[in-house]
Structure 1
Amino acid sequence: MTDNKKSYYITTPIYYVNDKPHLGHAYTTVACDVLARFKRLDGYDVKFLTGTDEHGLKIYQTAEKQGITPQELTDRVSVNFREMGALMNISNDRFIRTTDPAHKKAAQAIWQKMQDNGDIYLDKYAGWYSVRDEAFYSEDEITEDENGEKLSPFGSPCEWTEEESYFFKLSAWEEKLLAFYDANPDFILPPSRRNEVVSFVKGGLRDLSISRTTFDWGVKVPGDEKHVMYVWVDALTNYISALGYPDTAAEDFQKFWPADLHMVGKDILRFHAVYWPAFLMSAGIELPKRIFAHGWWTAEGKKMSKSVGNVIVPAEAVEKYGLDQLRYFILREVPFGNDGDFSHDAMVGRMNSDLANNLGNLAQRSLSMIAKNCDGKIPAAGAFTDEDTALLKACGTELLDALRKELDGQMFHKALETVWRVLNDANAYIDAQAPWTLKKTDPARMATVLYVVAETVRNIGILLQPVMPESTAKLLDLLALSENERSFAFIGADHALKTGTELPTPQGVFPRYVEETEAA
C-alpha cells in the first residue's frame, strides 16, 4: 500500500514563461528528475513538481507589444516548458501554472495569513526595480554600465520606481531566520551559498515591497483589488498550492509537506532562502527541509547570450548527442553546485570514454561471449573466487548505499564517479580473467567469469536508470529482466541472474560519437 511508503517531495523552480527553455532550465529539471526516479525505485512515494510562473510586469509588457491578452500569451508559451519536459524525459507528477484558479486562491490565503499576523502594511515604495529579475534592489547593489544605465547584480537593467505598495515586514524576521539557519546547517546547500545567505541576512533586512498598482496582471490582493501581488509572493506559493493549500488537511499536503528539496539556480536563491522561509514563518507553515542552489553553464568558455548566438538549446543538443548522453554529461561533468562549461570536446569525451568504451564495452563484450559460447543463455557459475566475490559485492547493495548517501546530498557527480570506479574494476576484472582464453583452457571458469560480469551489468543497469532511463532499459532488456525486477529491491545476490535464462541477441547501447569529418 502506498500509504505505508516513505514520501519524498521535490520541486524545480517554476520557470518564467517569457523565457525560452535553455540548458539551464534542462539542468535543474533533469537533476530533480534523477532524484525523483531514484527515490521511486528505492520505494518512496514521490511527488515531483515543475511548472511555469505566468504573472508579472514582463508578461504584461510582452502581451501588450504583441496585441494579445497576457492569458493568451501564457497559454501559448507555457507549452514550451511542457515540451522541454517531454524532450528531456522528465517524470514530473504535476505541471503547475500560476494562472490556475486553485493557485490564485492559495496565494490569497497565504497573504491573508501574513496580514492577520500583522506582517503586511500599506506604504509607498521608491527604489530600483528590475523587470527582468522581477526584483527590487538597494542602492548599494546597483552598478552603472559605460552608458550610465543602472544594472542589477545579475546585469539586468533597473528603473527607478515609485508607487503605493503593500510591504512585508521582512526586517522582523532577521533573528528568527538566522536562528533557523544555525539550527539547520544543511537547510541551504552547497555551503558556499549558505554562507552568502547568512551574510546577506546579517547585513540587515529591509521590509519588502510585495504589491504593484501600475499593472493588473497578477493575483489580486485580498480586500484591495487595485493591487496585484508582487510576483514572488505569488510564485513561491506554488510549492504548497500544488498540495492543496490552503486546505492543510488535504491528503497531499499532509503526506508531502514540508518539501524535501527545492532545487533552484543560484540567481534565485535569495527569494527561496530568505523571503520564502519568512513568509512561511509568518503564515505558521512548516519550512522546507532543504534548498539547493546550483551553478550556471557557460558554452565553450563563454557566457551564453542570444547576441553571441551560443545559447545551448536542449532540443539541438539532444539531436546532436543523444538524450541520455546529455543527461549523463550535465550531471557528471561538473561538481553539482559549481559553475560549469559545456564544450563539444568534453561532451564527446564523456560519450566515448565513459559510455561507449567503459559501460557499453563491458556489456557488449560479456553478452557477445555469452551469445557465442553459452548458447545465448545465462551461464552456470561455479565456485566464486575472491576476485569474483569482491566485484559482486562492490556492484550490489554496497554501491546502492553509496549512491543513497551521495544523492541525499545532491552530489550527482560523486554518485556517478562511484559507479564508474566499479565499472573500471569490472573492466579490469574481465581483462585479467580473460574469458576468451579460458574458453579453450577452462570453459567452466569462463562461464563463471561471464556470469559475474553479466550480474555486474545487471546491478549497474538498475542503479543507473534514474540518470539514463532509455539506455538502461535497453541494457536490462538484453539481460531479459522483466519490468517488475528493475527496482532497487532487486539489487544484490538475493535476486541474481538465473542460470539458463535465454537472452536476446546482444546489441550496442552506447554508440561512439564520430565527428562528421571522420565519418566522411
Structure 2
Amino acid sequence: MGKKMYITTPIYYVNDVPHIGHAYTTIIADSAARYFRLRGYDTFFLTGTDEHGQKIEQSAKSKRKSPKEYADEISKKFKDLWDQFEISYDRFIRTTDSEHIKGVQKAFEIMYEKGDIYKGEYEGHYCISCEAFFPETQLIEGEFCPDCGKVTTIVKEESYFFRLSKYQEDLLKWYKEVDDSILPKSKKNEVIRFVEDGLNDLSITRTSFDWGVKLPSSINDPKHVMYVWLDALLNYITALGFGTDEKLMHYWPANYHLVGKDILRFHAVYWPAFLMSLGLELPCHIAAHGWWTRNGEKMSKSKGNVVDPKTVADAYGLENFRYFLLREVPFGQDGDFSQKALIDRINSDLSNDLGNLLNRIIGMSGKYFDFKIKSENVKKFHEKELKEVEEITLSLEKYVKEMKWNKYLEELWKILSIANKSIDTYAPWSKMKEGRNDEAMATIALVANILTKTALLLHPVMPKTTSKLADALGFEITKENFDKFITNCQLLEETIIKKILPLFPKIEEPLMQESKPQEQKKKEEKKDNKEKKIEGIITIEDFFKVSIKVGVIKEVEEVPKSKKLLKLKVDLGEDRPRQIVAGIKEYFTPDELIEKQVCVVANLKPAKLMDILSEGMILAAKDEDGLTLITPMKRKKPGTPVK
C-alpha cells in the first residue's frame, strides 16, 4: 500500500443553509485532497451533514415537518452545492445513515464495557443552540452561553457520562509529544489551557428529546438518545466502516480534520479522548480556521449580510472565488469578504500577473516563432532565474502540509513575478531586432516553463483554469508531469503553444448587488415611495445597473428588406466583437460608421430584430435636425466604462 491521505471537513449541522464559512472549510479540504492525489497519495476525502439533536427537532416542529423530512431537505442543499462546486469528496456521510447509527452504537458499547461510560444524573446550564453544557463559571453574567451569547436553561436529567477526566493527563501528553497535532500551533495553547483547568466527565445522553441515536440494545435503556457531539464526532470512523464493514479502516488515522475555530474544543479534547477509549490511533492534525466577516462586520441574518457562496461563484466564477478564499487570509485568522477585495484579487493576481503573462508569450511566440517553444537554450541564458524558480517551487509542499494555503499561493506568485520581470528585463522584441533570436526564444521559453510549473502547482486550487493553461502549453496535469516538472525540475520539450481566450477578463465594477440591513431597507422603501410621486425618477442604484461602454464600429452591413436597420460589429474590448442591430440606416452610410467610436449599453438583454440577434444598444440623440451618435470627445480604449 502506498502513501495514504485521509482528509475530513466537519459534518455540517442542518439547522441552516450553507454559507461562506462552510464553503471555505470545504474548498480548503478539496484543494488539499486534489494536491495529495496529484502527488500520488491514496486519498480519501469525507464531508457530510450532522442531523440529530434537540435543535433539529425544534426547527422541524416549527416548520411542521418530521425531523427526518427537515434533515433530508437541508442535507440535500449541502450536497447539491458541493456537487455544483465540483467538490471531489469520496463520501458524503449523513448521521441518519443506518451504517453510521450501527457504528455509533458499537462504539458506545465498547466504551461502556470498558468502564468509560457510567449512568448518573446531570444538572447544569444547557445551551440548545450549541448543544452543550457549561459550568456556571464560564457563563456570561451567570446566564448566557459563552460561545453564542444566547440564554441557557438549567437542565436536570438522568444521563450517561463519559469519563473524560480519566484522559486529562493522556491528552496533555499527546499535545506535548505531537508538536503539530493542532494547527495553527498558536491554537494549541488555548486547548492546553482548557484541559489544564481540569476536565469534568461529559454527559453523553439525553432523555428530554427523541431525535437521536438510541443506545445499543445490549444496554436496554430506550428512553436515552446519544448526545449529538458523541454521535457526530464518530462519523470520521463510521464513514470508514467502523462497527460494520471495516474494509476502509486502513485510511485511519485521519491526516487532517479541518474545522472552524468554534468547534476546535470538541475535536481537540473530546474526540481524542473517545479514540483513546476505543483503542484507536489519534488523528495526525486537527486544523482550525477562523471566521469570515463581511465588509468588516460580523455576518447575521438580521443585518442581511450573510454571504451566499453560490451567488458569489455565479457572479465572479467558481475558481476565482476558490482562489480568493485561500489567498485572502492566513489560515487560522479571521477573514473579511468584500466585493472590492475579490475584484482586486481577480484583476491584480489573476488577470495581470497570470492571464496577461500567458497572453504576452502567446503573442510573442506567434509573432516571432510561429507559436513554437523550444527550451534548449533556457539554462544557457537564464540559469539564475531557473535556480530562483526551483528554490521556490521545491519549498511549497511544507505550506500545504501546514494548511497555510495563503502562504502557498503568495510564494507561488513569486515565480510569476520572476517571469514578468524577465520579459521586461530581457525584452525579446529588442533581441529579435538585433538578430539575437536564440536569446529571444530562451526568454519566451523560460516564461512558458514558469507557466507550466504554475499550472501544476495551482491546479488543486483552480483545476479547470489550470487544465486550460496546461492545454495551451501542450501538456496534461498528471502525477507524472508533476514529478517531471516540479520534483525533477525538467523543462518542456519542443511544444506548440495554442492561442486561447483570455483566462481572466478584467472586472470593471461589482457584479453583485450588496444586501442591506432590514432597518436601512425600510428607510429606503419609505424614501422610494415619496420619490415615486415624481414621475420617472430613478435612484443612483438604478442608474448603476446600466453598463455603458465605449465601442468601436468594425463592420457594417445593411439588413435586407429593412429601411432603417444596419447590422454592426462593435469592438467592446472583449474576446470578440458584439453584433448590434441599430435603426440608423436613414442617417448614415456604412462607410461613415467604420472605426467610429460610440457609446453602447453593454448589459442589455440580447434580442432579435428581423430574426437577427442584437447584443446591445447604441446611444444616440435625435431632434428636428436629425440623429447624432453619442461619442467620446477624445478616443478611448474599447470597453472603457461610461460613468
* Distance across 2 between alignment mates of 1:37 and 1:393: 27
Contact (CA 8 Å) 2:126, 2:132: kept in 1 or not? Answer: yes
Contact (CA 8 Å) 2:207, 2:225: kept in 1 or not? Answer: yes
Q: Deviations over 1:141-162 (max 9, x none)?
A: 1114xxx963333323322212
Aligned-residue Cα RMSD (Å) equals: 1.8
* Distance across 2 between alignment mates of 1:237 and 1:44: 24
Tell me how far 1:485 sits from its aligned partner: 7.1
* 2:318 corresponds to 1:314: no
User: Which is further off, 307-316 or 57-66?
Assistant: 57-66
* Distance across 2 between alignment mates of 1:199 and 1:239: 26
What are the residue-to-residue correspondences of 1:442-453 with 2, within 5 Å? 442-453=436-447
What are the residue-to-residue correspondences of 1:61-460 with 2, within 5 Å? 61-144=58-141, 150-222=144-216, 223=219, 224-246=221-243, 250-254=246-250, 256-379=251-374, 381-382=376-377, 384-385=379-380, 388-396=382-390, 398-441=391-434, 442-460=436-454
Q: Return closer, same or farther for 1:400/1:494 CA change in 2, 3 Å cut-off.
A: closer
> Where do 5+ consecutive residues of structure 1 fail to align?
none
Q: Which amino acid aligns with 2:401?
A: D
* Distance across 1 between alignment mates of 2:480 and 2:154: 57
* Distance across 1 between alignment mates of 2:201 and 2:479: 55
User: Which is further off, 400-409 or 475-484?
Assistant: 475-484
Scaled by the length of structure 1, the TM-score of the pair is 0.94
Tell me how far 1:385 sits from its aligned partner: 3.6
* Distance across 2 between alignment mates of 1:242 and 1:184: 25
* Distance across 1 between alignment mates of 2:372 and 2:150: 62
* 2:13 corresponds to 1:11: no
Q: Which amino acid aligns with 1:25?
A: H
Q: Which residue number corresponds to residue 27 of structure 2?
A: 30
Tell me how far 1:371 sits from its aligned partner: 2.1
* Distance across 2 between alignment mates of 1:283 and 1:258: 13
* Distance across 1 between alignment mates of 2:459 and 2:42: 17
SS at structure 1 position matched to 2:222: strand
Tell me how far 1:347 sits from its aligned partner: 1.5
Contact (CA 8 Å) 2:375, 2:492: kept in 1 or not? Answer: no
* Distance across 2 between alignment mates of 1:183 and 1:252: 28
Contact (CA 8 Å) 2:11, 2:50: kept in 1 or not? Answer: yes
Q: Return closer, same or farther for 1:93/1:9 CA change in 2, 3 Å cut-off.
A: same
Tell me how far 1:217 sits from its aligned partner: 0.9
Q: Which residue number corresponds to residue 51 of structure 1?
A: 48
Choose the corresponding residue for 2:455, options 457, 461, 473: 461
The count of corresponding residues between Structure 1 and Structure 2 is 509
Q: Return closer, same or farther for 1:483/1:179 CA change in 2, 3 Å cut-off.
A: closer
Tell me how far 1:9 sits from its aligned partner: 0.4
Contact (CA 8 Å) 1:150, 1:159: kept in 2 or not? Answer: no
Q: Deviations over 1:304-328 (max 9, x none)?
A: 1110011111011112222111111
SS at structure 1 position matched to 2:373: coil
* Distance across 1 between alignment mates of 2:178 and 2:414: 33
Contact (CA 8 Å) 2:99, 2:244: kept in 1 or not? Answer: no
* Distance across 2 between alignment mates of 1:380 and 1:210: 64
Q: Deviations over 1:357-376 (max 9, x none)?
A: 11111111112211222112
User: Which is further off, 468-477 or 234-243?
Assistant: 468-477
Scaled by the length of structure 2, the TM-score of the pair is 0.76
Q: Which amino acid aligns with 1:29?
A: T
Tell me how far 1:196 sits from its aligned partner: 0.6
SS at structure 1 position matched to 2:324: helix
Give the percent of matched residue pairs that are identical in Structure 1 and Structure 2: 48
Contact (CA 8 Å) 1:107, 1:237: kept in 2 or not? Answer: yes
* Distance across 2 between alignment mates of 1:135 and 1:113: 24
* Distance across 2 between alignment mates of 1:494 and 1:100: 47
* Distance across 2 between alignment mates of 1:225 and 1:295: 40
SS at structure 2 position matched to 1:91: coil
* Distance across 2 between alignment mates of 1:490 and 1:380: 15
Choose the corresponding residue for 1:471, options 428, 447, 465: 465
Q: Return closer, same or farther for 1:428/1:383 CA change in 2, 3 Å cut-off.
A: closer
* Distance across 2 between alignment mates of 1:383 and 1:332: 31
SS at structure 2 position matched to 1:163: strand
Tell me how far 1:390 sits from its aligned partner: 2.8
* Distance across 2 between alignment mates of 1:157 and 1:459: 54
* Distance across 1 between alignment mates of 2:306 and 2:150: 17
User: Which is further off, 360-369 or 153-162?
Assistant: 153-162
Q: Which amino acid aligns with 1:137?
A: F
Contact (CA 8 Å) 1:41, 1:487: kept in 2 or not? Answer: no
Tell me how far 1:486 sits from its aligned partner: 7.0
Greater helix share, 1 or 2? 1
Contact (CA 8 Å) 1:42, 1:487: kept in 2 or not? Answer: no
